[in-house]
Amino acid sequence: MHADRLKPIFAPQSIAVIGATNRPGSVGRAVMENLIHGNFTGGIYPVNKDSRFIHSIRTYPSILDIPDPVDLGIVIVPPPAVEEVVEQAAEKGVKGVIVITAGFKEIGGVGVEREERLKTKLANLHISLIGPNCLGIINTNPGISMNASFSRNMPRHGRIAVISQSGALCTAIMDYAAGHDIGFSKFVSFGNKADVDEIDLLDFLKDDPDTDVIVMYLEDITDGRRFLETAREINWQYRKPMLAMKSGRSPKGALAASSHTGALAGSDAAYDAIFHQSGIQRMNNLGEVFDAAIAFARQPLPKGNRIAIITNAGGPGIMTVDAADRFNLELAELKKDTKERLASFLPSTANLNNPVDIIGDADYKRYEGAIRTVLEDENVSGAIVIMAPQAITDILQTAEILPRATQGIEKPVLCVFMGIVDVSEGVRYLESHGFPNYFLGEQAVHAMASMVHFTTRMTIPDREVISYEVDTDRAREFIGKTLGKKDSVYLPQTEANTLLSYYGFPVLEGGKIAREEDIEPALDRIGFPVAMKIDSPDVVHKFDAGGVMLKIKSVGEAKDAFRRIIGNVKQRHPEARITGVRIEEMAKKGVEVILGANRDPKFGAMVMAGLGGTFVEVMKDVTFRLAPMWKRSAYRMLESLKMYPLLKGIRGMPPSDIEAIEECILRLSQLMTEQPEVAELDINPLIVYPEGRGCVVADSRIVLKRSVSTT
């Protein structure tokens, strides 16, 4: 859908309210009152066959009876009548409708059928539809001033746009915003998205001159790939920060998963991947969302991550420092001349280092001097100003110095005027002059970190997709022969390693043996020491099944290991199909990483990296990205892991070969992009050696499927 098709919905010259009524407590009455009291600048046409006037405005029995052109229809009729009303609106020449009526797919059964009929009808009509089952939309632009919803709140004009699948959450957001003096440019509840979806709305908002920040509440995404590209465009080309809340973080499990990756990859992992790769920041709650949103909307972006803290209270200052450390912000090292300037007007008991403690008896002049001096330090990217109200503090005067102290300086300043009642007058002044205020230092730090994250992502180089020289043709031939006429095939390590080798993965020398008498020839080729592992499509956790023997140093040990492995697996998994035992060179010790991939039914190929070994599903220190991946994404995957300090080297351990891991991640991304039949893949562990010494695939498994998506 082209974004221009939404203009009649957001900026109509005339609106028909089909289902308008005078009945108290009804949605039809609420929408009429909101349009009138919100000072909508266009024409309003109520449609109700049983009334002559509603709110002293003439009514019409049908939208077709309105003599004037109509741009937007708001539909509030019983569910069975919606389809006919939408048809009439299209016949009238209406370009957009908002269907507030509920009773569609959200109720299941007949509602699903009703919505499918509506979607089929829309395919042949030149009309755009928001809903059904939605709250409506709001445009606060003074030239339009449209509250086309049944929310009683008309927010003030601002620079933040909100789109939400949940209508109930919309009313909560608007009430929250009213209490915190937060303004909006657009507010959209899009409900079941039978036609217009979140991507269409983002396409419209990217060009909206009134919108600087986009906030989203999502329950699902219609088209993951299209969403990713649109969000990237908004973030990197239009430079509009995007903040998201996504419900459903807790997966119920993947009980039938045939790999570690499958067990760890819930649908929420795909959303996390999309958010990471598109630059969208995922928030946990409304407080986090709007802490960040108002900072983006009101303050300049930081040019670094070095912050300064100015406070009149030691305790809150220290707590804010702790929060800065948690959010990976650096405390700026103040320059010598900055400290000398501070010393010239601060009392001798003041702390001239960062955080700058100007002492509890600080008046507004002391605050003004400290803020200005610190912000003029080129080492400082932004500042957090803390004020704990004292009996001698003039709170309003302190607030009033902020515009003067920051004049001409393009650095973000966030305030923490602590308390509620005593600071209320000062807080109102701050917010009316563009300075966000927070109840706690941690909130301000979170907002500042969000801004730093955005600007950092904007400047990251290497957004190209790396393509290695690989043997694509042999890989395709191998997959074709292996699949044959089957719908799916499980590849244990030997066959999986063959496919991986075509894509340049470092694999161990080895092979599969089906009989005990095959052991000696294999050992003559491989040498000692060796590892031996069960080869079975039905055994995922080989160690748990007693299917792994390590550090085997003789033919006798190897034969004994062969018998024990087969016996253990038969005892613990009597139903398992056993195709043999893999025997391979024993890998040297190193840091164990897991790499994996699978295909999400909605979003396509996903690549996983994380802490490897036998406890991978317990620790769950993994992260996902969608393929194909940018070069920089591989590093960011590793950087986001809890195990990352281990890779960097701790307690005398040398740094691991991070570049080798990154290369394997990117090769895996390429494999998943080029070979659509690869449905699931595990490399666990990938053993990583010290910097410059590479890594090796110590175990692997692959599932091929004929009917897998090509993305």
Q: What is the mean pLDDT of residues 446-466?
A: 84
Q: Are residues 163 and 82 part of one domain?
A: yes
Distant-in-sequence, close-in-space partners of 512: CB < 8 Å, separation ≥ 6: 492, 494, 535, 579, 580, 581, 582, 583
Q: Are residues 153 and 16 part of one domain?
A: yes
At 613 the pLDDT is: 83
**Lowest-pLDDT range of 19-23, 464-468, 575-579:** 464-468
Checking DSSP bridges between strand 591-600 and strand 136-139, what pairing results, if any? unpaired
pLDDT tens string 318-355: 999 999 999 999 999 999 999 999 999 999 999 999 99
At 153 the pLDDT is: 83
Checking DSSP bridges between strand 580-585 and strand 530-535, what pairing results, if any? antiparallel
Residue 139 lies in domain? 3-211
> Is residue 265 over pLDDT 70?
no
At 38 the pLDDT is: 92
At 258 the pLDDT is: 41
Query: In angstroms, what CA-CA distances link 323 with 231, 329, 332, 335?
Result: 29, 9, 15, 23
Orientation of helix 395-405 relative to helix 364-375, angle to 10°: 30
Q: What is the mean pLDDT of residues 266-292?
A: 89
At 460 the pLDDT is: 65
In what helix (H) or strand (E) does residue 141 lie, and over which residues does it extend? Answer: none
Checking DSSP bridges between strand 213-218 and strand 242-246, what pairing results, if any? parallel
CA distance 239 to 184: 18
> Is residue 262 over pLDDT 70?
no
The two structure tokens encoding residue 309: 């803290």
Q: Are residues 105 and 38 part of one domain?
A: yes
Estimate to the nearest angstrom the gap between the alpha carbon of 682 and the chain centroid. 24
pLDDT tens string 505-543: 999 999 899 999 999 999 999 999 999 999 988 888 888
Query: In angstroms, what CA-CA distances link 47 with 74, 75, 360, 468?
Result: 10, 10, 64, 63
What are the two backbone dihedrals, phi and then psi, of residue 489, each rounded to the nearest 5 degrees? -145, 135
Q: What is the mean pLDDT of residues 669-692?
A: 96
At 461 the pLDDT is: 54
At 590 the pLDDT is: 94
Q: Are residues 544 and 439 part of one domain?
A: no
List the beta strands (DSSP E) in 59-119: 72-75, 96-99
The answer to whether position 293 is within a domain reads no
Any idea what the CATH number is for the domain that residue 557 is in? Answer: 3.30.1490.20
The answer to whether position 206 is within a domain reads yes
CA distance 163 to 158: 15
Give the angle subtended at the CA of 545 by the CAs of 539 and 549, to the nearest 5°.
105
The answer to whether position 181 is within a domain reads yes
Q: Are residues 87 and 18 part of one domain?
A: yes
Report the phi/psi class of residue 361: left, alpha or beta, with left for phi > 0 and alpha for psi in -120 to 50.
Answer: alpha
Distant-in-sequence, close-in-space partners of 250: CB < 8 Å, separation ≥ 6: 268
At 252 the pLDDT is: 47
> Is residue 496 over pLDDT 50?
yes
Query: Three-state SS for 187?
Result: strand
- Total domains in the fold of the chain: 3
> Is residue 711 over pLDDT 70?
no
What mean pLDDT, rounded, does the chain reach? 92
Q: What is the mean pLDDT of residues 446-460?
A: 90
At 247 the pLDDT is: 82
- For residue 701, the number of C-alpha atoms closer than 13 Å in the C-beta half-sphere is 23
> Is residue 228 over pLDDT 90?
yes
Q: What is the mean pLDDT of residues 134-143?
A: 96
Query: Three-state SS for 503?
Result: coil
Q: Are residues 305 and 185 part of one domain?
A: no
At 549 the pLDDT is: 95
Residue found under tokens 């009334």 = 51
Q: What is the mean pLDDT of residues 202-210?
A: 97
At 251 the pLDDT is: 54
Any idea what the CATH number is for the domain that residue 396 is in? Answer: 3.40.50.261
Q: Are residues 514 and 433 part of one domain?
A: no
The answer to whether position 667 is within a domain reads no
pLDDT tens string 396-441: 999 999 999 999 999 999 999 999 999 999 999 999 999 999 999 9
- Reference 41, options 73, 63, 2, 14; nearest CA is 14
Distant-in-sequence, close-in-space partners of 405: CB < 8 Å, separation ≥ 6: 367, 368, 371, 372, 375
Any idea what the CATH number is for the domain that residue 174 is in? Answer: 3.40.50.720
Structural domain ending residue among the three candidates 522, 553, 586? 586
Q: What is the mean pLDDT of residues 104-127?
A: 94
Q: Are residues 150 and 44 part of one domain?
A: yes
Q: Are residues 164 and 98 part of one domain?
A: yes
The answer to whether position 417 is within a domain reads yes
In this prediction the pTM is 0.88
> Is residue 155 over pLDDT 50?
yes
At 627 the pLDDT is: 94
CA distance 230 to 48: 40
**Lowest-pLDDT range of 25-29, 148-152, 277-281, 462-466:** 462-466
CA distance 245 to 217: 5
Q: Are residues 529 and 442 part of one domain?
A: no
> Is residue 260 over pLDDT 50?
no
> Is residue 263 over pLDDT 60?
no
The answer to whether position 487 is within a domain reads no
Q: What is the mean pLDDT of residues 121-134?
A: 95
The answer to whether position 254 is within a domain reads no
Q: Are residues 513 and 453 part of one domain?
A: no
First to last CA, the chain: 22
- On whether the CB atoms of residues 356 and 309 are closer than 8 A, the answer is yes
What are the two backbone dihedrals, phi and then psi, of residue 90, each rounded to the nearest 5 degrees? -65, -40
CA distance 493 to 406: 63
Distant-in-sequence, close-in-space partners of 114: CB < 8 Å, separation ≥ 6: 79, 80, 82, 83, 103, 104, 105
The answer to whether position 266 is within a domain reads no
Among residues of the chain, what percentage have pLDDT more than 70? 96
CA distance 66 to 60: 6
Confidence of residue 254 (pLDDT cuts 50, 70, 90): very low
CA dihedral 600, 604, 608, 614 (to 10 degrees): 40
Confidence of residue 143 (pLDDT cuts 50, 70, 90): very high
List the beta strands (DSSP E) in 85-165: 96-99, 128-130, 136-139, 146-149, 157-164
Structural domain ending residue among the three candidates 180, 211, 242? 211
At 693 the pLDDT is: 97
At 68 the pLDDT is: 97
Q: Are residues 27 and 119 part of one domain?
A: yes
pLDDT tens string 557-606: 999 999 999 999 999 999 999 989 999 999 999 999 999 999 988 889 99
Structural domain ending residue among the three candidates 536, 560, 586? 586
**Lowest-pLDDT range of 148-152, 236-240, 389-393:** 389-393
Q: What is the mean pLDDT of residues 365-376?
A: 98
